[in-house]
Chain A
Amino acid sequence: MYTLPKDAKLLVIGSGPIVIGQAAEFDYAGTQACKALREEGYQVVLVNSNPATIMTDTDVADRVYIEPLTVATLTAIIEKERPQGLLATLGGQTALNLAVELSEAGVLERYGVQLLGTPLASIKQAEDRQLFKDLMEQLEQPIPESEIVHSLEEGLQFLEQIGLPVILRPAYTLGGTGGGIAETMEQAISILTRGLKQSPIGQVLVERSIRGWKEIEYEVMRDGNGTCITICNMENVDPVGVHTGDSIVVAPSQTLTDRNYQMLRTAALTIIRALKIEGGCNVQFALDPYSDRYCVIEVNSRVSRSSALASKATGYPIAKIAAKIAVGLQLDEIVNPVTGRTYAAFEPALDYLVVKVPRWPFDKFPQAARTLGTQMKATGEVMALGRNFEEALQKALRSLEIGVDGVYLAEVAAWSDEVLGAYLAAEPDDRRLFALAEALRRGVTVAQLQQGTQVDAWFLHKLAGLVELESQLKQMTLEEMTAEQLLLFKKKGFADTRIAALIGTQVKSMELQVEKSAEQQVAVALSEQQDTASAMTGLLQVSKTHPATAPTPQDVRAKRLAAGIKPIYTLVDTCAAEFESSTPYYFSTYVGEPEEPNSEPFSKKKAMVVGSGPIRIGQGIEFDYCSVHAVNALKRLGYETVILNNNPETVSTDFDTADSLYFEPLTAEDVLAVIEREGVELTFVQFGGQTAINLASQLAEAGVKIAGTSLAGIHAAEDREEFRQLLDRLAIPQSVGGTATDVTSALATAKRIGYPVMVRPSYVIGGQAMAVVYSDEELVRYMERATDVGQGHPILIDRYLAGKEVEVDAVCDGKNVLIPGLFEHIERAGVHSGDSMSVYPPQSLSEEEVRTIVSFTEKIALHVPVVGLLNIQFVIVDGQVYVLEVNPRASRTVPILSKVTGVPLVDLAVRVSCGEALAEAGYGIGLYPAKEYVVVKAPVFSFAKLTGLDIQLSPEMKSTGEVLGIGATYEEALAKAFVGAGIPVGASAGSFSTGLLVSITDRQKAEALPLLERFAALGMTLFATEGTARLLIEAGLHVHTVPRDEESTQSLLKSGAVQFVLNAPTLAQDPTRLGYQLRRFTVEMKLPCLTSLDTAAAWLQALEAKTKPIPMYLNV
């Protein structure tokens, strides 16, 4: 029974740029939804500002608008497209909020757009804290005592009533932004103040803290006819108090009796019935570990990160079914696409266990506060499946790519007992699991740990079991180990690398033991430098250089294979094998009887695409886009496709993307096992980011055929020295540089090169990252903080080429090169390419410069030689073109370029890798003609979540996502990109009512003045810190001077007189400086803060143009 006629036009709103708390899961949900709606015969109009997504592919929807997600844009699109229905429950909080706004603005009514799925009133009931509270009371569902407050006074009054501790939560924010648990009055006041500001409706919920209870989530669905089902429940290993997005999670729950389980399930269904949900919904509970008491924490009346996880965990495609429910279908009318023979009206039964572990950005941002609380900080997550907890957990840990392959973190192991004890007593952070294991290793009991951390004893016992097995391993030698023993370790999830690292370390001499632990540290260190080596590469490389005494992972592997111990592959079939299933979605396990070898000959040639793992800063959803496109291209070429990945949020791990899906860690051991089982002929490592490319050498060594660019070619581009030589041979300019291991040599090198210089560690152990350094003094400071230097690792010092940066993606078949387009950066070099705004086609390059870039690209591509994709960053200084970096793989810009030029880069890369000639592929060679329109990419950051992190643009990437602005002119594209990134452009931005606070480093004062004059000319009210104010006064401008102290700047920002901040910093990352405090405070206040004059200039240009952007759909 359809709500709307079959061919009706439906508008789907996506979730916009990736930010912490709203990530790739909505690409997955949105893509599924669009596909599902079109399957039912609807026309889909899609709006999303995020260009890196699959959902914004022109073949996912009938019309794709990559436009800012604002009421104004959506209104214009609705006016133009006249959709009959709107689906807003699949685009995260962003889409949900927009639907509410559109409805309240009367837009939906005006254009007769019907909101599909969960009704608006229900959305509000779940979102608005007061309405929600009322509903829970009415349903007799317990919630912690709480009150909605609108002011500090009100809050304090309530606090007097209920006492501390309390949790404070602003209404309508993403991932808990601005919330927190307060143990003291001071904390309460500070969080409350921030929360009131951050809630768009100025409401904060003050609530009794139930920290320490079990946190349990239910993913539930309801159709229009009232049928309700649970897809999955999940239990957080980290009890209430740590955001579910930051918790290690297992599915299904492990420590609940059926009575507990059903009590919460019934409560969840009662709630979604009352809310009249039509689609998916997430209900979070807290369960007292010592009684039957529970509380409802939250209800998300839409698909969420948890529902993506639940879909991947169970095989049940929640978003797809939710979309079908939204157009009126009932659960019992929809066939379960996994089994193909049962219906969507059922609850998945798992015969395995799922573990999710979040991936945090703290390795990259040592300054950011890494404590975990009610605000989510993870950028991504990994999921692993196993037939027992230990197996799933260890698989998940080695999927993280943080240099661990078990419950062991070298950093934590190095702590003294006192440090460890103090750590466990304090607020948890991302290292808690490792610290728990370490404590068990040192003899702390499960009971003590449970008491201290409230982590359930069940999980702690499992950890203790792993620790016990480790100690057994340490006491046996590889020779002595029986096949049965080895099988036991494999069943408990021990990686070959982990077995090799541990085995025999306590039977041999002390010397060997020392070597071992040093080796592990090195491995971790190596792996943390993502661009050099993955965790496993690190381990392998180190082990290989070792003399024969210590067994290598290869030795373990050899012994294992000789004993016939191989993983078994189990289907995720939604039904615990009760029904036959036709969907090849697998995970490996060592639990169970060996598989009978596949006797059927392979009918088609098989190709594997190695995925990109968890989303982290610097390696995001774009690689998932590339992986999915690679699979599609291979299918078109007649290959049977296999995809291997461990990220539950993504489209690549949708069960119907590849012919078979393997949900596995991305380590050599796990990848090789699948290649062997499937009989894969060709393996693609160029689409899965650095994760996949790092596996190339180990796979090749094991005899795997790597598609595209050869291993030697990959090496020629990746290895610094080899690459330097290649450029020299080709006479292509590059930045001159040197290395330094101490302050003296650094100063000498810098002197030789001349300031400013670009410095970076040759690898990072939580030390100082890449930076531009302007003086001896700064260099000394940098060297002091770069902890790695002390450990003998050199710092790389390059000449800082302060020029125009240009990014090129190209495809090459070894003979010819096709360059679909160039992206010119708006900020000068020194801002990471991922964090800079950029424009296609370039706006200020001379023909000569373009020719040089094309020619250099061709030379490099042909000499590497590249077969497939290639990404190069250039810098142009005074007409001279330098090469900064070459990546022999897909890059962040591939999806964007493919979309805006219409050149299917990934498809071409696959085709040439399979032997097709580029010249015959239909897109020509050389530089592809530029399109008429102009496209601007702008980065989006998640600074509010990463407390402590300095926000200034630098060579270190910090953004989590990006938006695109497409316009007829550069100015129009700029305006859209800014608006999409949350920096207003428009009538209200450039007027008298707008206050702009400026604070400019002496270094750039002269350069800044003309810009500031233009801002003044637009009529903005200028505020400036003292030095900058003097400059403005001298120039005859009217300015309000702000004293140089924290108090004054903060009260100014709080007063509401300032809407924008422009701060060109002298020195970043120094929390004692006013600049840092000012920048952080703008984040808390949710005010746009520009830190580069180039961004400011672009913003001015957009403001001055006063364009009226018109939504444009992609039509290439």
Chain B
Amino acid sequence: MKGCLVLENGRVFHGDLIGATQQAYGEVVFHTGMTGYQEILTDPSYAGQIVVMTYPLIGNCGLNVRDFEAQKPWLTGFITSEACDLPSHHESEGTLADYLAKQGIVGLTGVDTRRLVQTIRQHGSLKGYIVAQDQREHLVAGMTETASEKGSLFPALPRDTVKRVTTPTIYTHTKHGDSHVVLLDFGAKANIARSLAGIGCRVTVVPATTSFDKIQALEPDGIMLSNGPGDPQDCADLLPTIRRLGETYPMFGICLGHQLIALAYGARTEKMKFGHRGSNHPVKSLATGQVWMTSQNHGYTVSEADFPAALTVTHRNVNDGTVEGIAHAELPVFSVQFHPEAAPGPQESYELFLQFLVLIRERKGQQLVYAT
């Protein structure tokens, strides 16, 4: 069936609908990774967004059981230039279109994704609908009306996405391990817990809103703040807990977790023009001068205006100079904007998990000293 993407600036992109047959609405963002569509599809950070893949051939390897980042996709729409319906990979268990249909996600393929990316690049982040061709008239008619009505046509994005995607209950991800990490799930990618488990941690995953006391009762050795969707400022209610956790335990934040640490210690965040989403973002470690290629997915960034003295910038984006990593001056608290858990993307920043482990071990050592 013919369908189209209608953007709030009036631009329309045509294609063929695949997957679920309903309407989709969300902020339209693009990802420049050439592999990893399955991980992207299931990354909860895309909650409420329509994701455009810039690489034109998507779905070549089908979908397999090993590469999901969450149990279900949270994005609202998925746009490609081509969607492969004859995938070839020994692990493949189905096609992209079938997966989208099964999960109730709207897909649009055959789209001039390059032009779409250029539009987003020029205008900055845009909201849009994926609709069937025959419903398009409707929308476009609506858009010619007054500005206030336009606002209602393209409503603001939801502010409660974290609460929607977080785990409803506390659960144990990995039973055994030397150190116990409590992972605050703001929309965590599965590979964060897997990475922690991979370095020998015991991992308990808790809902984003879990109180300090409850977490303390779990007796963690370290706290991991996950990635997640939306504007970090929408999570202001979580900041006091985060602050207390940071004062008590070694803490490591990724992406949204990083932004929340920044907010918790007095920094600000701001929306970027169109964000960073891809597997090729260069990040420089200010300590070593080395550059990592990193996996990224964020539309907000930590601002350096009125930057608090308690924090220092540890990493920077090579291209636009934005803050990519911070550390607390005194506390064993640090965080990065990018994704050391990769999946998709380069794996070289994985060593940050080891750094976290070092902090955890140091603290354990200290406590041992105090106890005697």
Q: 6 A-B Cβ contacts within 8 A?
A: A257-B35, A257-B67, A330-B289, A351-B56, A388-B56, A458-B88
Check if B118 is an interface residue, CB within 8 A of chain A. Answer: yes
Instruction: Kindly identify, within residues 248 to 271 of chain A, every residue whose CB is under 8 Å from any CB belonging to chain B.
Output: 252-259, 261-262, 265-266, 269
Against A, the Cβ 8 Å flags (1 = close, 0 = not) of B78-104 are 000110101111110000000000000
Instruction: Pick the residue among A227, A348, A461 that contacts B290 (CB under 8 A).
Output: A227
Check if A331 is an interface residue, CB within 8 A of chain B. Answer: yes
Residue of B at shortest CB range from A343?
B318
B152-160, B172-180, B251-259, B342-350 - interface stretch: B342-350
Residue of A at shortest CB range from B316?
A332
Asked if residues A346 and B318 are in contact (CB atoms below 8 Å), the reply is yes
Asked if residues B284 and A578 are in contact (CB atoms below 8 Å), the reply is no
B17-25, B128-136, B275-283, B322-330 - interface stretch: B275-283
Complex contacts, A331 vs chain B, CB 8 Å? 291
Check if B319 is an interface residue, CB within 8 A of chain A. Answer: yes
Asked if residues B112 and A346 are in contact (CB atoms below 8 Å), the reply is no
Instruction: Report how far A856 CA is from B35 CA in the complex, Å.
Output: 63
Complex contacts, A308 vs chain B, CB 8 Å? none
Asked if residues B347 and A259 are in contact (CB atoms below 8 Å), the reply is no
Instruction: Report how far A732 CA is from B281 CA in the complex, Å.
Output: 68
Asked if residues A332 and B282 are in contact (CB atoms below 8 Å), the reply is yes
Instruction: Report how far A290 CA is from B88 CA in the complex, Å.
Output: 11
A258-B35 contact, Cβ under 8 Å, with A330-B289, A388-B57, A593-B112: yes
Against B, the Cβ 8 Å flags (1 = close, 0 = not) of A552-582 are 0000000000000000001000011111100
Check if A230 is an interface residue, CB within 8 A of chain B. Answer: yes
Residue of B at shortest CB range from A259?
B67
Against B, the Cβ 8 Å flags (1 = close, 0 = not) of A318-360 are 0000000000001110000000011101111111110000000
Asked if residues B56 and A343 are in contact (CB atoms below 8 Å), the reply is no
Check if A456 is an interface residue, CB within 8 A of chain B. Answer: yes
A490 to chain B, nearest CB (A): 14
Complex contacts, B361 vs chain A, CB 8 Å? none
Check if A289 is an interface residue, CB within 8 A of chain B. Answer: yes
Asked if residues A225 and B289 are in contact (CB atoms below 8 Å), the reply is yes
A226-B290 contact, Cβ under 8 Å, with A255-B88, A259-B67, A591-B81: yes
Check if A457 is an interface residue, CB within 8 A of chain B. Answer: yes
B35 to chain A, nearest CB (A): 4
**7 further interface pairs, Cβ-Cβ under 8 Å (given A262-B346, A457-B88):** A262-B342, A332-B291, A346-B282, A347-B346, A575-B32, A577-B117, A577-B121
Instruction: Report how far A1000 CA is from B344 CA in the complex, Å.
Output: 68
Complex contacts, B278 vs chain A, CB 8 Å? 349, 576, 578
B25 to chain A, nearest CB (A): 23
Complex contacts, A456 vs chain B, CB 8 Å? 88
Complex contacts, A353 vs chain B, CB 8 Å? 56-57
Asked if residues B293 and A230 are in contact (CB atoms below 8 Å), the reply is yes
Instruction: Kindly identify, within residues 378 to 427 of chain A, every residue whose CB is under 8 Å from any CB belonging to chain B.
Output: 387-389
Residue of B at shortest CB range from A341?
B319
Asked if residues B113 and A351 are in contact (CB atoms below 8 Å), the reply is yes
Check if A291 is an interface residue, CB within 8 A of chain B. Answer: yes
Instruction: Kindly identify, within residues 1 to 43 of chain B, every residue whose CB is under 8 Å from any CB belonging to chain A.
Output: 13, 30, 32-36, 38-39
Asked if residues A346 and B38 are in contact (CB atoms below 8 Å), the reply is no
Check if B209 is an interface residue, CB within 8 A of chain A. Answer: no
Asked if residues B33 and A345 are in contact (CB atoms below 8 Å), the reply is no
Asked if residues A258 and B347 are in contact (CB atoms below 8 Å), the reply is no
Residue of B at shortest CB range from A593?
B112
Check if A228 is an interface residue, CB within 8 A of chain B. Answer: yes
A458-B86 contact, Cβ under 8 Å, with A265-B346, A570-B114: yes
Residue of A at shortest CB range from B342?
A262
Asked if residues A255 and B60 are in contact (CB atoms below 8 Å), the reply is yes
Check if A229 is an interface residue, CB within 8 A of chain B. Answer: yes
Instruction: Report how far A226 CA is from B289 CA in the complex, Å.
Output: 9
B359 to chain A, nearest CB (A): 23
Check if A790 is an interface residue, CB within 8 A of chain B. Answer: no
A332-B60 contact, Cβ under 8 Å, with A225-B289, A228-B348, A578-B117: no
A40 to chain B, nearest CB (A): 20
Complex contacts, A578 vs chain B, CB 8 Å? 30, 32, 54, 117, 121, 278
Instruction: Pick the residue among A257, A291, A350 that contacts B55 (CB under 8 A).
Output: A350
Complex contacts, B318 vs chain A, CB 8 Å? 332, 342-343, 345-346
Give the 4 A-B CB pairs with smallest separation, nearest first. Answer: A258-B36, A458-B88, A347-B280, A258-B344
Asked if residues A257 and B279 are in contact (CB atoms below 8 Å), the reply is no
Instruction: Report how far A330 CA is from B13 CA in the complex, Å.
Output: 41
Complex contacts, B57 vs chain A, CB 8 Å? 254, 353, 388-389
Complex contacts, B54 vs chain A, CB 8 Å? 349, 351, 576-578
Asked if residues A458 and B87 are in contact (CB atoms below 8 Å), the reply is yes
Instruction: Report how far A225 CA is from B287 CA in the complex, Å.
Output: 12
Residue of B at shortest CB range from A226?
B290
Asked if residues B38 and A257 are in contact (CB atoms below 8 Å), the reply is yes
Instruction: Pick the residue among A258, A457, A577 that contacts B118 (CB under 8 A).
Output: A577
Central interface residue in A330, A342, A346, by most chain B CB within 10 Å: A346
Complex contacts, B38 vs chain A, CB 8 Å? 257-258
Q: Interface size of B by Cβ–Cβ distance < 8 Å?
A: 55
Instruction: Kindly identify, within residues 572 to 618 of chain A, every residue whose CB is under 8 Å from any CB belonging to chain B.
Output: 575-580, 591-593
A824 to chain B, nearest CB (A): 55
Complex contacts, A389 vs chain B, CB 8 Å? 57
Residue of B at shortest CB range from A576?
B54
Complex contacts, B13 vs chain A, CB 8 Å? 593
Instruction: Report how far A266 CA is from B348 CA in the complex, Å.
Output: 7
Against A, the Cβ 8 Å flags (1 = close, 0 = not) of B331-353 are 00000000000111111100000
Complex contacts, A576 vs chain B, CB 8 Å? 32, 54-55, 114, 117, 278
Complex contacts, A253 vs chain B, CB 8 Å? 35
Complex contacts, B290 vs chain A, CB 8 Å? 225-227
Asked if residues B64 and A257 are in contact (CB atoms below 8 Å), the reply is yes
Asked if residues B35 and A256 are in contact (CB atoms below 8 Å), the reply is yes
Instruction: Report how far A577 CA is from B81 CA in the complex, Å.
Output: 14
Asked if residues A352 and B56 are in contact (CB atoms below 8 Å), the reply is yes
Residue of A at shortest CB range from B87?
A458
Asked if residues B61 and A256 are in contact (CB atoms below 8 Å), the reply is yes
Check if B115 is an interface residue, CB within 8 A of chain A. Answer: yes
Instruction: Report how far A74 CA is from B137 CA in the complex, Å.
Output: 74
A445 to chain B, nearest CB (A): 12
Instruction: Pick the residue among B33, B84, B112, B282 that contacts A258 (CB under 8 A).
Output: B33
Asked if residues B67 and A227 are in contact (CB atoms below 8 Å), the reply is no
Instruction: Report how far A256 CA is from B54 CA in the complex, Å.
Output: 17
Instruction: Kindly identify, within residues 229 to 269 of chain B, every residue whose CB is under 8 Å from any CB belonging to chain A.
Output: none
Instruction: Report how far A256 CA is from B62 CA in the complex, Å.
Output: 10
Instruction: Pick the residue among A226, A342, A350, A570 that contacts B34 (CB under 8 A).
Output: A350
Complex contacts, A289 vs chain B, CB 8 Å? 90
Asked if residues B32 and A332 are in contact (CB atoms below 8 Å), the reply is no
Complex contacts, A387 vs chain B, CB 8 Å? 56, 81, 114
Complex contacts, B55 vs chain A, CB 8 Å? 252, 349-351, 576
Check if B214 is an interface residue, CB within 8 A of chain A. Answer: no
A134 to chain B, nearest CB (A): 24
Complex contacts, B138 vs chain A, CB 8 Å? none
B195 to chain A, nearest CB (A): 13
Complex contacts, B86 vs chain A, CB 8 Å? 457-458, 461
B84 to chain A, nearest CB (A): 8
Asked if residues A262 and B345 are in contact (CB atoms below 8 Å), the reply is yes
Complex contacts, A290 vs chain B, CB 8 Å? 90
Instruction: Pick the residue among A332, A388, A593 that contacts B115 (CB under 8 A).
Output: A593
Instruction: Report how far A229 CA is from B292 CA in the complex, Å.
Output: 8
Instruction: Report how far A228 CA is from B319 CA in the complex, Å.
Output: 16
B60 to chain A, nearest CB (A): 5
Instruction: Report how far A928 CA is from B32 CA in the complex, Å.
Output: 57
Instruction: Report how far A259 CA is from B346 CA in the complex, Å.
Output: 10
Instruction: Kindly identify, within residues 455 to 496 of chain A, every residue whose CB is under 8 Å from any CB belonging to chain B.
Output: 456-458, 461
B224 to chain A, nearest CB (A): 21
Instruction: Report how far A665 CA is from B298 CA in the complex, Å.
Output: 40
Complex contacts, B113 vs chain A, CB 8 Å? 351
Instruction: Report how far A456 CA is from B345 CA in the complex, Å.
Output: 24
Complex contacts, B81 vs chain A, CB 8 Å? 387-388, 591
